Structure 1
């Protein structure tokens, strides 16, 4: 029990530190975006999204890197990213919608951000499928090896995403941002990233420790402990934006963060190690659920271009279903995810 208490304290403290670091990150990102005259969609989808997705990137690096630097568990990093993506997509807009009464969207969010996000999910599925087809692991027909050339595919696609966002800045007439100390803001941004990186290391340690203590796959703890902890920056940024009636920035941050997580954070683990095995039987059901959740959110946003309080509670219910499903899979009650 002493070990369990220690792990719980580590998880709580690390989560609190991530939260504090995210406050600094949010302020610096917002000021820098205003200074450089970025449109709200670009601000949320690129600048703030990349900054608030830094915890997920660090979690993949620390999970994938071999000991003593990391845990040497690529599946832990992937589960953390997928769990974070589901959390971002369902919980953050829901909390934003409840606390802000409703979240307003725009056609740019619905027709560009949401649809590109679905393309990102498809790209990851295709990359894993190519690994199983061309680099199979003989012992298991559902396991393939993701190599650096395969990992480069989603990264290149993210380059296309950034290019499309850059085009939007050419047509945007930015308001006067006032006097901003740029050097100071970049300093706060750098400090926040360091603080978050240290805190995420604690979350990864806690997730691996919980798995060992309960005799369960660290996969489950990546989906819950790491995912929820690393999603705090996105939650803080999106909820505050929604409360300030900046629903477009709020939703763009969620979708932009998920695009970054899938197209950059996951491949980075492969690019660091060189090649990692991936269980297609685990990846496809999870990414399939992510696709279904995306379609539901897309449908909610398309109706009157708002996310109502009622729809927000429906998204929270869907997330609860996801967590229950993962717990049942982990303890062998269900078998839809082979190897979970």
Structure 2
């Protein structure tokens, strides 16, 4: 029965992503705001809602391994699987702002987490620092959005503009609801299956729950790639990764101190390493090519097999 619900959740995720991308693209065009900014803010925060719910609930229940594992696993999944698959579908154009600011922020944030969590703890002060940095980052994006106008690249399809902004907002809202509901349905049933297989809390968080809560990002970025909306496809992933580390872990840590030895430095190094790899790929070309997408997929599956070998 759990497998049937998994399939149903995937259908819900697809349509939720379709509506979210369409509504967000139209909304960005109507406001004259870059789709990249929309991808880094509205879309990334919306698709990260499942990670927020799962990690905060886990922190309140004292399940620190699940809370941390969900965030690290989601960030690895986002670059390894989501960008990997998206690049295979359509080579993703690299925007200057991503290369010069947002991806470096993601790398620095990943490094900061590695250094602060090296003792296996996220204290109240460290959690506050994460939240403060997130507010500063969002303030920067808000200022940037006032300066940048919507520019469509020659290789991108023109954005379909709906008749009224209410339709844009409705599509975004319904899409987000579908993504959150679909991912929760997927995660609940995936956890049941994982527990039947005898997996640990940390491993479930790093793999099954992380992949499940990342389904909104996967669905959204894949649909965006199919529509040749590189801004949203990449912005969604980069924004979600920053959101996961700074706000989700920050809020979770403020609610309840996070402490676990089940998440080791190898997990943090893989997350940092794949983030640096994305930055390097973006610096050597104007696109994330299909062969680079294959490498992302390879790195993630290497990590996946290492974790399961530890069982």
- Tell me the TM-score normalised to structure 2 length: 0.86
1:202 maps to: 185
Supply the distance in 2 between the matched residues of 1:20 and 1:271 (Cα, whole angstroms). Answer: 35
- Give, in angstroms, the shift of residue 304 of structure 1: 2.0
Q: Does residue 123 of the first structure (1) align with residue 112 of the second (2)?
A: yes
1:75 maps to: 65
CA contact (8 A) 2:95 2:231 kept: yes
- Give, in angstroms, the shift of residue 10 of structure 1: 3.8
2:26 maps to: 31
1:171 maps to: 147
CA contact (8 A) 1:103 1:247 kept: yes
Supply the distance in 2 between the matched residues of 1:107 and 1:173 (Cα, whole angstroms). Answer: 14
2:258 maps to: 276
Q: Does residue 21 of the first structure (1) align with residue 16 of the second (2)?
A: yes
Supply the distance in 1 between the matched residues of 2:163 and 2:234 (Cα, whole angstroms). Answer: 26
CA contact (8 A) 1:23 1:233 kept: no
- Give, in angstroms, the shift of residue 211 of structure 1: 4.2
Query: CA deviation digits over 1:139-187, x for unaligned, max 9?
Result: xxxx43x344431211111112112212222322347985643334333
Seen in structure 2, the aligned counterparts of structure 1 residues 48 and 7 have a Cα distance that, compared at 3 Å, is: same
RMSD: 2.6
CA contact (8 A) 1:22 1:192 kept: yes
Seen in structure 2, the aligned counterparts of structure 1 residues 63 and 8 have a Cα distance that, compared at 3 Å, is: farther
Query: CA deviation digits over 1:25-84, x for unaligned, max 9?
Result: 223322322222211321221122112222222222343343xxxxx5232132122111
- Tell me the TM-score normalised to structure 1 length: 0.79
Q: Does residue 305 of the first structure (1) align with residue 286 of the second (2)?
A: yes
CA contact (8 A) 2:76 2:271 kept: yes
Q: Which one has a bigger Cα radius of gyration?
A: 1
Which is worse superposed, 6-15 or 213-222?
6-15
Aligned length: 304
Q: Does residue 155 of the first structure (1) align with residue 131 of the second (2)?
A: yes
Query: CA deviation digits over 1:248-289, x for unaligned, max 9?
Result: 4322221111111111122232334x333233x624321211
Supply the distance in 1 between the matched residues of 2:139 and 2:167 (Cα, whole angstroms). Answer: 28
User: Which structure 1 residue ranges, 5 or more long, are not aligned?
Assistant: 1-5, 67-71, 133-142, 332-340
Q: Does residue 265 of the first structure (1) align with residue 248 of the second (2)?
A: yes
Supply the distance in 1 between the matched residues of 2:227 and 2:160 (Cα, whole angstroms). Answer: 17
